[in-house]
Amino acid sequence: MNISIITQYSFIVVAIGTMLLAMATGIVGTISILKGQSLIGDAVGHASLPGIILAFMISGRKSSLILMLGAIVAGIVAFLLIQIISEGSKIEADTAMAVILSAMFGMGMVLKSYIQGNPKYQGASQSGLASYIFGQAAYILREDVYIILTVSIISLALFILFYKEIKVYVFDMVYAYTIGINSRLTSLLIMIITMILIAAGLKAVGAILISSMLITPAVTGLQWSNSYEKVLVIAAVTGAVSAFLGTFISSAVKGFSTGPSIILIMSVIALFSVLFAPRGIVRMLLNIRKMRVGK
Amino acid sequence: MEKVLIHLEDFTMAYTDIPVIWDMDLDIYEGSITAIIGPNGAGKSTLMKGILGLMKPISGKVSIMGKSYKEVYKQIAYIPQTTTVNWNFPTTVIDVVTMGRYAGLGLFKRVNASEKEKALEALKKMKMEDFASRQISELSGGQKQRVFIARAIAQNALIYFMDEPLAGVDKKTENIIIETMREFKKEGKTIIAVHHDLNTLCEYFDHVIMVNKQLIASGRTEETFVKENIDATYGE
């Protein structure tokens, strides 16, 4: 393992991007979990693939920004479809998500193999499109880091600006209404933040793993504290630390890709927390035992 | 002469095609402690939700201090039956009560020390200050109810709507809640509460609204809560 990697330009670029992204997703992910919508990131992530391929087919270029816009549009389409299905029929939201997720991901895969052998798209280089499926942080360019930077800062700024409203909305919707918080606008805001973060992170982490970025650090945060502020700080810090370590390991060890490395570290921390944190399983079992002994 | 605070006209509400509240004309008076009573399914909670705009009426209108709910919501506190809360949310008692200050703060403003101070005062009124840093989901039913009333106190509203504040609470909590209602009245505030226990009605409430899908009677408790009206409300 080569420690001097840390000072290399390409490492610094990728590390800054993934760390910022993981901080923002960790924070926003707490909302998804507390609202009982942990799957939404998964659905939107998978659904973004056809958007990316279509954006490439239409524009004929592999500009990160254009592909990201494609991902956002596809994400919105998926989100609306899920809403329409779950509200308009007897199908539950999680079932609707599962259906839309696989349908749109399948469509993305079909489109991808269609353009692979198609002479019409030979002119433009397609290499790199696959990185949107599994994530390939090594392909992250300066342009991508700028996008991640911008999106993360916008998301965090919106979250901080509307912190009170988001908090009350997630904690107690009826109370939110009675103090004049517009629940439609708040849920729209949350949706937009989630959507742009997912779209910005796709290239680094991939459509399949991006939802872990939302959920895993947030799960960790929720195990450690009874205060939402502290949960947010813990989620952001574990996100950033995992992103740094994951990026480092993938740069230092041959054959390790960045996205999966980050997710793996996040997951180990989350698993440890679920077991041993103050709100974790071991503490709960000990408490039950203490109560029994006390009797 | 009593001053009308809330006025309902031709008020009809329904979940499906069967009306739950049928053509109500109703006045609620300023500075009163008003109970809404009636059998199960009589539409007591629905009536409250209708007044607050949480559910839209099919017809009719509500005016609160001569205005619509949207214009005066800052003056109104509502304590629902506690089921609407997300109990998994990581938050402490003092944090929940501080949310009572959010309505007055407006967009983008942060919570400062003086807001926390007011929240703590409200918590003291409910005799819950020792629980300030407890996780909300660890409390008993009565304690939870007191926290939500403390949040409403922190809101410093003029009108308090409470949906069964005394249901399932211990005697100590009941006494604290009633004491608070009387204090509110002294401050010129108005309390409207859904109530179940007919034995304590006359002791706790000076006004009563008796409903069973339609309005049976309303007015001062001693004049309104009489055998004829009770039979009409609870009888077959």
Domain boundaries, chain A: 3-214
Say what the alpha-carbon torsion angle A59, A61, A66, A70 is, to the nearest 10 degrees.
60
More confidently predicted of B4 and B112: B4
pLDDT at position B82 is: 65
**Contact in structure between A207 and A132 (CB atoms under 8 Å):** yes
Q: For residue B37, what are the β-bridge partners?
A: B210
Range of the domain at B107: 2-232
The tally of domains found in chain B comes to 1
- Find which of A175, A222, A225, A232 to mutate to test the B interface (most B CBs within 10 Å of its CB): A175
**A177 chain-B contacts, CB cut-off 8 A:** 54
User: Residue B198 — very low, low, confident or very high, per pLDDT cuts 50/70/90?
Assistant: very high
Look at residue B107 in the predicted model and tell me its pLDDT.
67
> Nearest Cα to A54, choosing from A117, A100, A119, A121?
A121
| pLDDT for the residue A6 | 77
pLDDT at A194: 93
Strand order of the β-sheet with B59-64 is B19-29, B4-14, B59-64
Distance in Å, alpha carbon of B2 to nearest chain A alpha carbon: 27
pLDDT at B169 over 90: no
Q: For position B190, which CATH number holds?
A: 3.40.50.300
Contact A164 B76 (CB under 8 A): no
The answer to whether the beta carbons of residues B29 and B207 sit under 8 Å apart is yes
> Pseudo-torsion of CA A266, A268, A274, A279, nearest 10°?
-60
Q: Would you say residue A4 has pLDDT above 80?
A: no
| Residue A162: φ, ψ to 5° | -105, 25
d(Cα A252, Cα A1) in Å, to the nearest integer?
A: 5
Chain A residue with the nearest C-alpha to that of B69 = A178
Phi and psi, residue B13, nearest 5°: -130, 150
Question: Does B78 sit within 8 Å of A174, measured CB to CB?
Answer: yes
Q: Which of residues 22 through 61 in chain B touch A, CB cutoff 8 A?
A: 52, 54
Rounded to whole angstroms, how far apart are CA atoms B125 and B187? 15
Cβ of B80 within 8 Å of Cβ of A174? The answer is yes
pLDDT tens, residue by residue, B94-127 = 999 999 998 777 666 778 888 889 999 999 999 9
Residue A137 has pLDDT above 80, yes or no: no
pLDDT value of residue B84: 78
With a pLDDT cut of 90, the percent of chain B lying above it is 75
Cβ pairs bridging A and B (under 8 Å) = 69
Q: What is the pLDDT of residue A78?
A: 93
> Among the listed ranges A216-225, A233-242, A249-258, B85-94, which one has the minimum average pLDDT value?
A249-258
pLDDT digits (tens, 9 = 90+) for A149-163: 999 999 999 999 999
B232 in contact with chain A, both atoms CB, cutoff 8 A = no
Provide the whole-model pTM.
0.88
Note whether B85 contacts A: Cβ–Cβ < 8 A.
Answer: yes
**pLDDT for A274:** 95
Rounded CA separation B76/A93 (Å):
34
Tokens of A162: 């509307």
The class that CATH gives domain A3-214 is: mainly alpha
Q: Which of A161, A162, A179 sits opposite B103 (nearest CB)?
A: A179
- Residues B204-236: pLDDT tens digits? 999 999 999 999 999 999 999 999 999 999 986
Cross-chain Cβ contact A34/B88 below 8 Å: yes
Q: What is the structure's pLDDT at A83? A: 87
Answer whether residue B176 shows pLDDT above 90: yes
Q: What integer is the mean pLDDT of B13-35? A: 91
pLDDT at residue A131, rounded to an integer: 80
Dihedral sign from CA coordinates of A278, A279, A282, A284: positive
Residues 6 or more apart whose CB falls under 8 angstroms from that of B154 comprise B97, B98, B100, B101, B118, B119, B121, B122
The band of A284, judged by pLDDT with boundaries at 50, 70 and 90, is: confident
What is the residue whose two structure tokens read 């089921």? B83
Report CA torsion sign: A67, A73, A77, A82.
positive
Rounded Cα distance between A65 and B149, Å, is 50
Phi-psi domain of B209 (left: phi exceeds 0; alpha: psi -120 through 50; beta: other)? beta
Asked if ipTM goes beyond 0.85, one says: yes
Nearest to B90 among A164, A179, A227 (CB): A227
Ramachandran angles phi, psi of B110, nearest 5°: -95, 160
Q: Cβ distance A41 to A205 under 8 Å?
A: no
Residue B198's closest CA among B159, B162, B170, B166?
B166
Judge whether B72 and B50 are in contact, CB under 8 Å.
Answer: no
Nearest to B192 by CA among B16, B105, B64, B101: B64
Q: What is the pLDDT of residues A80-131, one digit of tens each?
A: 999 899 888 889 888 999 999 999 999 999 998 888 878 777 655 666 787 8
Contact between B89 and A34 using a beta-carbon 8 Å cutoff: yes
Element housing B64 (H / E) = strand B59-64
Confidence band (pLDDT; 50, 70, 90) for A256? Answer: confident
pLDDT at residue A246 above 60? yes
